[in-house]
Structure formats: C-alpha cells, structure tokens
Structure 1
Amino acid sequence: MVGREWQPLSAAELDQRLDLAVEEILEAELLSELRAQPPPAVYVHLMQTQPHVGPQVLQPAATACGPQVEETPAEPQGRLESVDSAAVKYIKDLLHSSKSQARLVGRARVSLSHTILLSLTLLSERVSYGSVSRRFLVEKGNIHKIFFSFCERVNTLKEMQIRWPVGEEAVDALFPISSQGKGQEDGEQSVPLVLGVLGHTRIPIRLPIGKHDVESTVPEVKRMKEEAHPDSWLNLELLCDRRGRLLHCTISKGSDVDRGSALRDKLKEHPELMPPGSCLVARTGYPLTAHILTPYVTSQGPREELYNKTLEEHFHILDQAVANLRARFQRLRYLDIGSYNRARAVVLTACVLHNAFLDMGWVVQGEVEREETITQEGEGDVDDEGVRRRDAISDLLLKSFES
C-alpha cells in the first residue's frame, strides 16, 4: 500500500521545498521588522482620512518577497472551495472501484487524495503548472505526468458514469416535448416524449507543431475564431437529459463535421435503446430520422414555426449543460495541449467528473455564452421515416395549440 500511494521526493523537489521554507522564514522576519517600526506619515494620514484602506497598505510588501503565485479569476474560487474532502473521497472511491488497476505514475509520488486535488485544481482553474507546483510543492515536470495519469484513470470510468438509460431509468428520464401537446393522439400517431437533447460544442486546443499559420497578420485570439485551422478545435458531441446529465458523448477532431452519424447508426441497429413513443431532439445539421427530430430549415407557415419554437425550448437545456461544464472546468476554455489524444483525455475527464459531481449534488451554474446558441447550419441527412414523423408531430402540435 505504501509503495502504491507514496514514493520519496526527488532531489529537485527537496531543494524546492527547502527554498520555499527559507523564503517563508525571511518573509516572516521582514514582516516582524515592519510591524515593529512606527508607521510613516503617509500611512497615518491615510488612516485618518480613509480608515478602510489601512489593512491594505502592507499587502504589497507581504507578497513581494514570497513566490509569485498567479492570481485566479474571482469566478472559480467558489468552485474550488467546494472541492472538499467529500468530493475527493467520492472520486477516490470511484477510482478504486474501476476496472483499471493501472498505477498513477510520477517519479515523486504524492498521495491519491493530493493527486485528485491537484488534478481538480488544473481542471477547475486556468492556472499554469508552475503555479500548481508552488501550491502543492511538487516538481513542475512531475505534475504533468501525474495529471495525465489521473485523466487516463478517470477515462476508464466513462461506461460507468456516462451511460445510456435503460428500463425504469429511461422511463424516468422522459419528459414531454410540449406541455400543450401532452397526451394528444391522432390514430396511431402521438406527440412523443423526449429522452434527451443532442448537440455539440467546440473546445479550442493548441495546434500541433508545423500547422501554425506563421505568416498571418491577424491577432492570435481573433485568428482562432476567424481563421482557425480545423485541428485547433475538438468537437464535443453531447446528449444530455433534462437535468443536464450526459447520456452520451463523443470527441473528434475539428475537421470532423459529420454530426450525429455514429449515434444515428447505433440507434438504427439497436432501436430498443429508445423507449416506445420517445425521441431525441437536435438542432439543424444533425440527421433527421425516426429517432432524432430536427427543426425545419425553411419555415413555410404557422405549423413549422410552432414546431421549431417547441424544439428551441429544449435546446436551452443543452446550452445550459455546456455552460455548466465550462464553468466547472475552466481548463476547457482553452487547452494548451498540442497532442490530440491527450487533449481528448482531458475533455473526457471533465465530462465524466461532470456527471460524478451531479450525482453528489454539487451543481455549478454557468452563464450561457451567446456563441453557443448560434449554430446556423444546413439540413443534415434526411430519411423518409424521419420526414413523415416530423410532419405528423408538427400537425399534432398545431391541433393542440388551436384547441
């Protein structure tokens, strides 16, 4: 057990800890000398005129001698404070229960609890390896190994955490496509219940060496949005239920624009995955089938407009789930990783932990970005059965609305 959870620190890490200890001693001595000295006249004047600024005067001197730790945005602080011992223990138990018995690597091993907390810090905050190295007193090069080893272990939990609902679980996940259309029937046709909302988002990553457009004069951030190389993005395709829990996810390179084809084929081969009278809803660009309903690309009248408006209400569920995922794991806003496989492992780790934290009741509410809601694409693949079902459902919705 000791060999699995701990190994002696390397010489470099021992030197680092010694340096930090000396810095803390020197900083404490300097602060004690400053406190012993009488306050300067400027300080006394500020205390008399603006009493509320008094405690802030010595703050720069207190940090000037210490290690320069990067400041994190105010938004992620509440999230990281919520990563308490209960969350670490929950993930630790999940890792112990997984099928993979691979050991977490690292020349200077830290405990599994510290490994989890270190990795969650990298995922939850947009901080550098150097900042995390100073915070956890672990060599920067070793953090890289520990983090990706953690991601590989968490990836083995995908089938356990991101699973398709079946049986009673699937029935409980169903919700009406429209409150007005609930229970309306016309012969053998009825307004279906929704199992989940299908969509995608893009995760920016660092381009591999050799694929940068070095001659472009457009600023880097603007170039990422307007002249982005296909490989500078990962496509994250998600299917979530009404609670925002992920039921399905696939991660592909940015050049892959074949929306939902794998899921369409899977449902065609295994129709039993869809409860009777149920469907998935997706935006334009996804295939229209008997199981996946998409909006009309061109509105021809009140029937089509009502149908599109009904589906649009469900798309907010997916937009909010994506916003919550990004808010919980700030690292997904930009992955400074040039390896597709490693970037994919990090994204999948965030998706698995997203569901795990929902099971714990730990909810993070993110703000929906406008760019996520603007996905104007042409109609995807269409089959005849999907066209007939969409027309029948739009007719039922219009009848229900008129009545």
Structure 2
Amino acid sequence: MDVREFVLSAGRAVLDVVEREWQPLSPGELEQRLDQAVEEILEADLMAPLKARPPPPGGAQLLRSQASAEPQVLPTETCVSPPEEETPEPREPIETVDDAAVKYITDVLQNSESRARMAGRARLSLPHTVLLSLTLLSERVSYRSVSRRFHLEKGNIHRIFFSFCERLNTLQEKQIRWPVGGEAVEALSPLCRPDKEQEEQQGVPRVLGVLGHTRIPIRLPIGKHDVESMVPEVKRMKMEAHPDSWLNLQLACDRKGRFLHCRTSRGSDVDRGGALRDKLEQQPELMPSGSCLVARAGYPLTAQILTPYSRSIGPREALFNEMLEEHFQILDQAVANLKARFKRLRYLDIGNYERARAVVLTACVLHNMFLDMGQEVQGDVEKEEAVTREGALEMDDEGVRRRDAISDLLFKMFESGSV
C-alpha cells in the first residue's frame, strides 16, 4: 500500500508539472507522459533493492568487464520486444526551411535591440532556434515530429518556440510600419486604370492601402467545449461561430501585399477599423494629400477610408464598387499568401488567446521580412463571408460627400471613355 500511495502521489505531481510546462499538449499526450513517469518510478523502486545488495565475489570485476564490452545482439526469440513505434500522423512531411531565410532572420534578431536569451533548457543556437520555429510555423507538424528531428523534449520545444515569437513581436513596429513622407508617396497606387496625371487632374484620390480582415481558428479555452457534439472541431466552429473559437486579424496592405497595419482581437470583438479611423482623424499627416484607404462594407466610411455602396446600387455606384473590388483582391491575395506560407494559421491548436495572438503576429512580421528578401509564396484565395451589419454601418457626412464626389468623377470619366 505504501508503494501504491507513493506512486499515486508522484503521478499527481508529475501531471501538475506536465500540464503547466508542456501546454498545449493534448490530453492523450499528457496521459502518455504520466504513464511513462509512473513506469520510471516503479522501475526505480524495483531496482533499488538490487542495487542495495552487496555484489557477489568477483561481481564488481564482472560488472566492469560487461560495461566495457561491446553490446551483443541477442537472438530474436530471446530479445525483449522494443516499444511500439507511434503511429505516424497523417500530416505532410517536414519540408526543409530555406537556409537563406534562416540566415536573414537570424541576422535581424542579432542586430535588434532585443537581446533577451531564448528560453529552453537546451541552449539551441540562434540559427537552430529560427529553423525550429519556422518549421513549426510553416508546416502543420506536431511537437512530437519536431521533437524527433531536433532531439528535444516537446515541452522544451514549446518554450523555445514561444520565446521566439515574443522576440519577433518586439520587431512589429520596425517590420509592420505605416509609410510616411516619400515612402508613403511611393506606396500610392491609382484608384482606377487611367494614368496618374489624368487622375490628379480629375481629382480622383490615390490609394495608400487596402484595409480588411481575416479570421484565424483557434482552440476553444477549457470549459467552452461542447463535449456532446460529435462534429469535427473546425467544422463545428464554422457552424456555430463561437466567438472564442476565432481570432480576428485586421490588416492593411499596400499594392505589393506588404502589411502596413496589423491588429489582433478576440472573436467577440466586432470592431471594424474603429481604432485606425480614430488614429487617422487625430493624425491627418499620416495620409498624403489626395490619398485614401479602401475597405469593404462593414468598415467605417470616412474622408480617409472609402467603402463600397451597399444600398441604392445604380450604374454610378456599381462602377465605384467595381473599382474598389480590384484593390480588395490585393489584400485577399496577401492573406492567402500569409496562410500558404504559414500553414499553422489554418488552425491554431492553442486555447490561450495571448499565445495565439503572439503566433499570428509573428507570422505577420515574418511575412514582411520574406517580402524584403524577395521570397513570395502564392496562395489560393478563399472567399470569406463578409461580416457586414447594415444597421450598424458607420458613415460620417464628410465621408459620404467625398465618396459621392469621387463616384461622380469616375462615372463621367467612364462615359467619356477615360476609364
């Protein structure tokens, strides 16, 4: 009874440590880790009496000779069966991360002001830390698979990866920055097809960036699961649209697909561009003269942010919406490229919002860094359901007047054959 109580107590302690240190392991992996710890404790208890016995005459010499001898291969019928290999997971194989990308990101981190040492009991070199983290982000592989490749414990890999994400998050302001001055002027693109000079003469604004959003599915926090439902997790989240099963990612990108603005929020946050709208109103110098942002319906219509018409669609309004749609495709492609490069964003098996947010922000920072390197990944655009609420659309008077004036100019240009 004493041994059993000891094992049970030790098992509980190990489980507490595992749950704290190895998050986000699945329940099955936690149970496996606990079983392994209990087996080690029982084995130690069985071996303790043998070690305590005095060795027989000549036993010490025999043990030394056995230790120095080469290991012998026993016949198959007498050999203890090795533990069964874990069933391979039905996932894509781990692809080799580009060496140039590892070197570039390593150099950026070494030259950054943030010098905090990466976490983890095993002191991986910075290049190997970058390689490990890019592997986890780029492929939907498990911690178990990466553990085998890098010969590290899964819990240690978890700490190293999130330490890497925290380090990358400190680079957000440098890598995801709003263009100003000459950089902003260079980023401007025509609202419609005519050349720049004709647009400027006609008074049609030029586009600084495209504002929009996407949703990243994440694991529901403990206590919010519907244990009775047998519908697969991701499919059930899409059907039920539980607010805590999604992370909102709001983005603004330029014509090259580079992110200028990034904001993450919980799924229950229904704000669409409100913080950015307030910032642009308070700091009008952020928008070059004669420029604007474009955003889909559901975002606030202001003098700085133009959105399409959603009511009373006539030829004039339809033409304006068509011109904006060409810009929306730029953001759609940038989001598709982001998810194609960082496949872990398809579903983040993380029930902690702050950690999920750190991973998503890391992917956005790396997206811009890869563009700086000239490495682009072309993803397939998935049409997402637009989140629009007709009764809650925000439109200020100046934004309504500017949109009407621009749509009138575009329609006149269209009738004259300029568009």
TM-score, length of structure 1 as denominator length: 0.79
Q: Is the 8 A contact 1:69 1:134 kept in 2?
A: no
Partner residue, 2:192: 178
Q: Quick one: which of 151, 167, 183 aligns to 2:165?
A: 151
Q: Is the 8 A contact 1:283 1:295 kept in 2?
A: yes
Query: C-alpha distance in 2, partners of 1:176/1:99?
Result: 38
Q: Is the 8 A contact 2:199 2:205 kept in 1?
A: no
Flag the 1:211–1:373 CA change in 2: closer, same or farther, 3 A. closer
Query: C-alpha distance in 1, partners of 2:322/2:131?
Result: 43
Partner residue, 1:103: 117
Matches within 5 A, 1:113-152: 113-152=127-166
Matches within 5 A, 1:9-48: none
Q: Is the 8 A contact 2:217 2:234 kept in 1?
A: no
Structure 1 residue matching 2:128: 3-state secondary structure: helix
Query: C-alpha distance in 1, partners of 2:181/2:356?
Result: 34
Q: Quick one: which of 348, 354, 364 aligns to 2:361?
A: 348
Partner deviation per Cα, 1:277-307 (whole Å, 9 max, x = no partner): 0000000000000000000011431000100
Aligned residue pairs: how many? 337
Partner residue, 1:92: 106
Structure 2 residue matching 1:322: 3-state secondary structure: helix
Q: Please give the root-mean-square deviation of Cα atoms over the aligned residues, in Å.
A: 2.4
Q: Which amino acid aligns with 1:391?
A: D
Deviates more, 1:152-161 or 1:379-388: 379-388
Partner deviation per Cα, 1:38-80 (whole Å, 9 max, x = no partner): xxxxxxxxxxxxxxxxxxxxxxxxxx99776546437xx7xx4
Matches within 5 A, 1:112-261: 112-180=126-194, 182-184=196-198, 190-216=203-229, 218-261=231-274
Q: Which amino acid aligns with 2:314?
A: G
Indicate the percent of aligned positions where both proteins have the same amino acid: 72
Partner residue, 2:316: 303
Partner residue, 1:6: none
Gaps of at least 5 residues in structure 1 are 1-11, 13-24, 31-63
Gaps of at least 5 residues in structure 2 are 1-35, 37-70, 77-82
TM-score, length of structure 2 as denominator length: 0.76
Q: Is the 8 A contact 2:337 2:378 kept in 1?
A: yes
Partner residue, 2:45: none
Query: C-alpha distance in 2, partners of 1:391/1:229?
Result: 38
Q: Does 1:73 align with 2:92?
A: yes
Q: Which amino acid aligns with 1:282?
A: A
Query: C-alpha distance in 1, partners of 2:174/2:263?
Result: 15
Structure 2 residue matching 1:119: 3-state secondary structure: helix
Matches within 5 A, 1:253-272: 253-272=266-285
Query: C-alpha distance in 2, partners of 1:65/1:204?
Result: 34
Query: C-alpha distance in 2, partners of 1:300/1:364?
Result: 37
Query: C-alpha distance in 1, partners of 2:232/2:105?
Result: 40
Q: Which amino acid aligns with 2:360?
A: V
Give the superposition deviation at 1:184: 4.8
Q: Is the 8 A contact 1:230 1:253 kept in 2?
A: yes
Query: C-alpha distance in 1, partners of 2:122/2:367?
Result: 29
Partner residue, 2:21: none
Q: Is the 8 A contact 2:246 2:267 kept in 1?
A: yes
Query: C-alpha distance in 1, partners of 2:389/2:379?
Result: 25
Q: Is the 8 A contact 1:180 1:401 kept in 2?
A: no
Partner residue, 2:342: 329
